[in-house]
Homo-oligomer: A and B are copies of this chain.
Amino acid sequence: MSPSDSDAIFSALADPTRRAILSLIGEHEELAAGEIAAHFDTLGRTAVSSHLRILRLAGLVSERRDGRFRHYSVTPTPADAVVAFLTSVYQNSLEQLASAVQDASAAGEAPSDRAEERSA
């Protein structure tokens, strides 16, 4: 994994709108660009398209072309770069990190934290 990958991923995650888009896609299996844009009444299609491009270049989402639609889905394992960074910094509290992940995993499929990332 190259540093530029981390750069793209963290830069992509820096924007609240993009995190909201990512969460939104994560709630469904697939979403078309228009469906995503429909959830943000403050943004136009162009802005959403631009965000999706950034997310795609960062490898966070993948697109599937279907006619005139483009369905976006979350890439399964792009969190590796994030985890790699976290483990490198938080070596001392890795047990806490691991337990936090496992707790969240055991908490079920719909953690209420997700509402935290709604459009700003």
Pairs A-B, 9 closest by C-beta atoms: A14-B14, A87-B104, A26-B89, A94-B105, A88-B114, A84-B113, A98-B101, A76-B93, A83-B100
Q: Which of A4-12, A41-49, A64-72 contacts B (4 or more CB under 8 A)?
A: A4-12
Number of interface residues of A (CB under 8 A): 50
A93 vs B73: C-alpha distance in the bound complex, in angstroms? 13
- Count this chain's copies in the assembly: 2
B116:A92 contact, CB within 8 angstroms: no
Q: Beta-carbon contacts of A79-99 to B below 8 Å, as 1s and 0s? A: 110111111111111111110
Query: Would you call A7 and B16 a contact (CB within 8 A)?
Result: yes
Chain B minimum-CB-distance residue to A22: B89
Residue contact A77 to B96, C-beta cutoff 8 Å? yes
Q: Does A63 contact B (CB under 8 A)?
A: no
CA distance A105 to B88 in the complex (A): 10
